[in-house]
Structures are given as C-alpha cells and as structure tokens.
Amino acid sequence: MHEVFVANAGTNAVTVISDVTNTVVATIPVGTQPWGVAYDAAKHEVFVSNWVSNNVSVISDATNKVVATVTVGFLPTGVAYDAAKHEVFVANRDSFTASVISDATNAVVATVTVGGYPLGVAYDPAKHEVFVTDYGSNNVSVISDATNSVVATVAVQSSPGSVAYDPAKHEVFVTDYGSDNVSVISDATNSVVATVTVQSGPSGVAYDPAKHEVFVTDYESNNVSAISDGTNAVDATVSVGTNPWGAVYDPAKQELFVTNYGSGSVNRVADATSI
C-alpha cells in the first residue's frame, strides 16, 4: 500500500500517511494512548499496542479499520512481527512479560516472562529469535520463537528502549536512553560487540538496508544520528523536529519517517542526505 502508520497517543488514533503524496489519507480510532506499531505482511494487517487500554488493535490495511482487539498485559509498548511463525510479540511494560499473538486467530498463544519494564521488540529472522529491551533491568532478553522462552540475557547500558535488527551484519542495535549511546549485539554470540556514542536521549531506531545504516532519533537533541554498520560510527547527523521519538524506514522510497513528539509532526528524511 506504500503507506506509513503513526500512533498518536494524544488523540487515541493512528494516522495513515501515503508515501507517494506525503499526505494523511486516513485516521483510525484505536485504544487509549497507542504506542507501538508493527506490520504483518502475510495478513496485510497492522498491530497497534494501546498503552492504557492494555490491548492491541488489529487494523486491516485494505479498509483502514480495526478488525480485532486483543487483550494483553499491563501497559503494552513495543510490537514486532515474526514472519516465520506468523505471530506478533508485544512487550508489556508493567507485567514484565511479552505476549505472543497468533495472527490466524488474533488471540494470545503464549506469555513470556522477561526483565524489568520491557519496552522495545525486534525480530531476528536468521536466528528465529525475538529481542526485547528491558528498560528497568538494563539488559535485553532473547526469546526463541520455537519455545517461547528466554534463551539469553544480554547486559547493555542504561535504560535501553528501542531495538532494530540488521540482517546484513546479523546484529541488533539497541538505544540506551540513559547513557546516550547505542549497544550493538551480535546474534551469533548474544554479546555486545560495539558501543556507539550518539547525542542526547537516543530513543527510536530503524535499519536502512540500502545504505547499511542505522538511524537513531536523539530525543533531547532534536536530530537523527546515522550510524554506519560497517564502522559502528556516526557518519551523519540530521536535524528534525522537536523531541523526535519513533523512526521507521520506507524501502520503497528509501526514506526515513521520524515522529516528533514535541512538535506533533512527522519528518521525511531521504537516506541520501545522510551521506
């Protein structure tokens, strides 16, 4: 559909943006204070975690309407889709768990205990594992999607938030909000292989396969840091709006979409500008 879905916590809705026209084409009411968003390419559905409602809204991208609502744990945050199992993993911050939802039934099929205050979730298709950042424990829980159990715990730095998988390097990038850096984890060893200093308040993270770069939103610095996965160093900094939070990469247009919490806007950044 070449669209971008943005969760609006203040209006309890999801905004749908066309990447062709860069205009809003739909607004979808969901639960209270939507937080995380993940796309299910098999079902052409979007899963949205609703922070205060303790549930997940399932949106059809064909109709831009909610087709199901799934109850999960307390204060659901990050969401990731597992294409191998056709499941969706949701971090429940105040339950210290991750809910596993089947996209066939839109029902919870497993609940996995993780660390303290889990926030971000990313799926690793090479290892069939799910990485969950534990904000309160300063670590990352690694879940096998075969057993729905934690198979490793990786210590990172202070207050890990978002997480993204780099399939080219088989690495996982974690934003450490409290340390102003990014931890790079090898999925082969489940250990930190690099630490990259960025600017103040790193929050969102997205991988760009075209440029082999990782984009990190610096919430308190009002910019985006572009990290080369070849050198694990920042090779560009791009100014955006006030308090940038989330980031998602659009492979069709080779652009990055950044949500700015403080200015209530979305910036579109061409990955060519990060050179």
Together in a domain, 151 and 189: no
In 3D, which of 137, 166, 146 has the Cα closest to residue 82? 146
Last residue of a domain, one of 155, 183, 210: 155
Together in a domain, 150 and 184: no
Q: How many CB atoms lie within 10 A of CB 76?
A: 32
In 3D, which of 208, 185, 198 has the Cα closest to residue 244? 198
Together in a domain, 217 and 191: yes
Phi, psi of 199 (to 5 degrees): -95, -165
Q: What's 204's domain CATH number?
A: 2.120.10.30
3-state helix, strand, coil split of the chain in percent (to 5) is 5, 60, 35
Residue 35 lies in a domain: yes
Residue 160 lies in a domain: no
Last residue of a domain, one of 90, 123, 155: 155
- Measure the CA–CA gap between 74 and 93, rounded to whole angstroms: 6
In 3D, which of 132, 135, 134 has the Cα closest to residue 143? 132
Q: Which own/partner contact pairs does 239-242 have at CB distance under 8 Å and 24+ positions apart? A: 240/267, 240/269, 241/265, 241/267
Q: What's 23's domain CATH number?
A: 2.130.10.10
Number of domains into which the chain is organized: 2
- Measure the CA–CA gap between 73 and 94, rounded to whole angstroms: 8
Residue 163 lies in a domain: no
Together in a domain, 218 and 86: no
Together in a domain, 6 and 115: yes
pLDDT on residue 2: 85
Last residue of a domain, one of 127, 155, 183: 155
Residue 74 lies in a domain: yes
Together in a domain, 18 and 89: yes
Pairing of strands 223-228, 265-270: unpaired
Q: What is the reported pTM? A: 0.96
Together in a domain, 143 and 10: yes
Kindly tell me the sign of the dihedral angle through the C-alpha atoms of 251, 217, 15, 270. negative
3-state secondary structure of 94: helix
pLDDT on residue 273: 66
CA angle 271, 274, 275 (to 5 degrees): 110
pLDDT on residue 271: 77
Residue 161 lies in a domain: no
Together in a domain, 180 and 143: no
Together in a domain, 173 and 245: yes
Residue 162 lies in a domain: no
3-state secondary structure of 11: coil
CA–chain centroid gap for 63, Å, is 24
Together in a domain, 50 and 179: no
> What residue has token string 């075209």?
210
Domain with 122, as residue range(s), is: 1-155
Query: What are the Cα distances from residue 51, in Å, to 72, 94, 126, 157?
Result: 10, 10, 30, 25
pLDDT on residue 274: 56
Query: What are the Cα distances from residue 147, in Å, to 22, 144, 151?
Result: 41, 6, 9
pLDDT on residue 275: 44
- Measure the CA–CA gap between 177 and 2, rounded to whole angstroms: 31
Residue 208 lies in a domain: yes
Number of residues assigned to the chain: 275
Give the pLDDT means over successive 10-residue stretches in the chain (275 positions).
90 95 95 97 97 98 97 98 98 98 98 98 98 98 98 98 98 98 98 98 96 96 96 96 95 92 92 64
pLDDT on residue 185: 98
Together in a domain, 137 and 188: no
